[in-house]
Amino acid sequence: MIFTGIDGGFFLPPTKPARRHNRINFSETSGHFKIYSMQPDLKKIILDDGPGLSSEPMHLRVYKGILNSLTEGFFAPGEKLLPDIAFAQALEVNHLTLKKALNRLAAEGYLSRVRGRGTYVSEVIPKTRPHISGHRVTMLYDIVTEESLRSEIFVSICNSVTELGLSLELVSSLSNRRLQFQQVKSLFSDADSAGCFVWPIMDMRQLQQLACARPAGYPLIFLNYKPELDIGGIDFSGYDDFGAGKMLGTQLRSQGYETCVVVHTKTSCKRPTNTNRVAGLEAGFSAKIINFHRYDEMNFAPVTEFLQSNQYRHLKKKASVFISEMDYIKMRPALEHSGWTPFVFFTGQKPTCGGVLLSSVQMGLNAVRILEARRKGDTSFVITHHVPGRLLP
């Protein structure tokens, strides 16, 4: 059968049955059929506002809508999707919102995204596990000490995990990011693994590789860490680091401090959680701060020389902000006659000076709440409010 268009042209329907997204829409005008769309109404299909969906964050609605379309066969295996900008326009959403959803789907194995070529549906759609059947939860630290077992976050997580009927193991990565990467990856194939909490020291490249390798539904939760870019499939349960830094910086400015130096090691200064604190501190202080990181855990001499030098002796009010409370404890004797007033981001130690007290207990509880939701197959649950902590006098 041949349909005649309004403009006198012709359209020959395909000989094979068309998939749903290739079906043809017609409207009747003056006794003729008008072919007015060869494209589906993607917004109606993907963002169909079912019960309770409209109140969810838009990136989650887009993610779940595309995921349902993939699992129901709306998109064929190997099919190329619209370019991001065109896809976002069809859904009437911001292209960054769409990108966040697509990156998560790619990380979970549903899509393949190739720079310069586009986004393709995977040839084999992963089977989503409704729940994780393992009974052992692993908590990965960079270094495990006796203090680690008594820390607030470990105790809060241990108690909460036990209430779920699971066991918790604490594993050290020996401050080796490659070892930590391998440790996490090995858990993905462990049938008894019920999830993983990580105090990460890995870089962005390793994190993205883990996100791609993570089995669908496996709980991978970062503690005290927020990557500078959202990575699909990886959850974050920690602090509002930027907010904590800004809060402290605002206090220092209001108290009349003339300069501020941030003290942290060569390795810790590169961690996004610490760069976020420094960025917030600078925003709150409204002036350039000194970033001192020319030392490591084995040699604190450069810090002592800097704090006791004459370079800033003429200033009356000077603040030294320590990212790590352990570094502050080691440097406390050198600070006594230096003229620098110490402030610390406290996480586990009992506060002994001014700064910000970050809630390790709440961070641990958030992590277990995410774990419980992921084990039940709930991919929409997120921690929407990360507490910046409270100021110490």
Other C-beta atoms lying within 10 Å of the C-beta of residue 172? 16
pTM of the predicted structure, to 2 decimals: 0.58
C-alpha 226: how far from chain center: 5
Q: Which two tokens stand for residue 43?
A: 């917004």
Classify residue 193 by burial, with Cβ atoms within 10 Å: 0-12, 13-18, 19+: buried
Sketch out the chain's domains with CATH numbers: 3-37 (no CATH), 51-121 (1.10.10.10), 136-239+361-384 (3.40.50.2300), 241-357 (3.40.50.2300)
- Tens of pLDDT along 133-187? 789 999 998 888 887 788 888 898 999 999 999 999 999 988 888 999 999 999 9
| pLDDT at residue 208, as a whole number | 78
- Tens of pLDDT along 369-378? 999 988 888 8
Write the CB contacts of 189 (distance below 8 Å, at least 6 apart in sequence). none
Higher pLDDT, 67 or 179: 179
Per the prediction, the chain carries an average pLDDT of 80
| pLDDT at residue 280, as a whole number | 92
CB 344 within 8 A of CB 322: yes
Quick check: 55 pLDDT over 80? no
Percent residues over pLDDT 90 in the chain: 26
Q: In whole angstroms, what is the distance from residue 40 CA to residue 83 CA?
A: 15
| pLDDT at residue 253, as a whole number | 95
DSSP state of 268: G
| pLDDT at residue 182, as a whole number | 92
| pLDDT at residue 136, as a whole number | 93
* Residue range 82-87: mean pLDDT, rounded: 91
- Tens of pLDDT along 248-285? 999 999 999 999 999 988 877 877 778 889 999 999 99
Tracing tokens 């009927």 back to the chain, one arrives at 165
128 band by pLDDT with thresholds 50, 70 and 90: low
* Residue range 209-214: mean pLDDT, rounded: 80
